Structure 1
Amino acid sequence: MPSKISRRSASTRCRQCAALPLSQQDGETLVMLVTSRETRRWVLPKGWIEKRISAAAQAAQEAYEEAGIRGRIGKAPIGTYAYAKRLDNGVSVPCEVVIYRLEVETLLDRWPEMGERERRWFTLEDAAAAVDEGDLGSLLLGLVSPQAA
């Protein structure tokens, strides 16, 4: 059965949702990133927006599946970023990702994609440098507290 993305036309703009997993440690805000399956780039846990549940709930589900995180997800998006999603056939299509803040409450020892991805805590500044998407990096830097700047 073809995946959702392989059934999309190259002219269709993809829409995804992402969790921005945040935690406080010693007065500093940390963000968890995961590696993508194929390119091993550092990314936010994300997935397709589905009609049957809210985008915020879907983002929380992706954080569980991809990073083993449970927590409180924000109801309203805090921003968006765009990237080029590579399809199974090698064609790239523009994709918009809506981001929801996730306050991490539990970090699980076992989760569905633990054998497929690496997860790591980053400072906001280090996360901004680690991601390839400039808009996402800017959003991360915008979360740095004025006292830390």
Structure 2
Amino acid sequence: MGIAKPISLQDASWLQSLTGLFVKPARLQIAALCVRYGKAGPEILLVSSRGTGRWILPKGWPEKDMPAFKTAVVEAFEEAGVEGQADMRPLGSFRSFKGLNDGLRLRTNVLVFKIRVEKQHKTFPEIGQRKCVWVPWEKALDMLDEKPVRRFLLRHRDDLT
């Protein structure tokens, strides 16, 4: 019977390469924090998710050859028919999960861009697939299902004005 020889780090490189199969990096999504100003103060746009009907911010995958802030504008229009001016720099980010149709969930890092809404169209690409609602900041906190989005709004309340 032989004596067990310790495995060196070089010998274990095959094991380290397998970790990529189990831990996938977070995917990037782009969100639009759509803000309009009413008589009672700033209001935030929430849209319902298509699958579960949860209240979320409009968001989607980055568009090829398009700056991220413009992707936020596209997502806001497609999901809620809004148009406006987006800040070129993200307001911040949060971590989330994206549920896929097959039941899988992907970790995501979500960059959030503030959009000052100028107009909301009556028709838009995802009309009938989502509900849209304008709510004051405090009500948005109650309606949002995801804790990371609520924490994001708490951190950025002063950025809404």
* Superposition TM-score, scaled by structure 1 size: 0.85
Tell me: CA distance 1:10–1:111, structure 2 relative to 1, closer, same or farther (3 Å).
farther
Q: Where in structure 2 are the equivalents of 1:69-148 lying within 5 Å?
A: 69-145=82-158
Q: What percentage of residue pairs aligned between the two structures are identical?
A: 34
The 3-state SS of whatever aligns with 1:93 is: strand
Amino acid in structure 2 at the alignment position of 1:30: E
* Superposition TM-score, scaled by structure 2 size: 0.79
Corresponding pairs, count: 137
For residues 124-147 of structure 1, the C-alpha deviation after alignment (integer angstroms, 9 at most, x for no partner) is 1111221122222122233445xx
Tell me: CA distance 1:99–1:131, structure 2 relative to 1, closer, same or farther (3 Å).
same
Is 1:14 aligned to residue 27 of structure 2?
A: yes
For residues 5-56 of structure 1, the C-alpha deviation after alignment (integer angstroms, 9 at most, x for no partner) is xxxx982421100110001111411001000000100011111012310110
Match of 1:68 among 81, 99, 102: 81
Measured in 2, the distance between the counterparts of 1:93 and 1:136 equals 16
State which structure, 1 or 2, has the greater radius of gyration over its C-alpha atoms. Answer: 2
Which residue in 2 is equivalent to 1:6?
none
Unmatched segments (≥5 aa) in structure 2: 1-21
Which residue in 2 is equivalent to 1:54?
67
Deviation at 1:92, TM superposition (A): 1.4
8 Å contact kept, 2:96–2:148: no
Is 1:25 aligned to residue 41 of structure 2?
A: no
- Structure showing the higher helix proportion among its residues: 2
Measured in 2, the distance between the counterparts of 1:76 and 1:89 equals 34
Unmatched segments (≥5 aa) in structure 1: 1-8
Tell me whether 79-88 or 94-103 shows the greater mean CA deviation: 79-88
Measured in 1, the distance between the counterparts of 2:156 and 2:136 equals 11
Is 1:34 aligned to residue 47 of structure 2?
A: yes
8 Å contact kept, 2:91–2:112: yes
Measured in 2, the distance between the counterparts of 1:78 and 1:57 equals 14
Measured in 2, the distance between the counterparts of 1:10 and 1:108 equals 42
Measured in 1, the distance between the counterparts of 2:87 and 2:98 equals 25
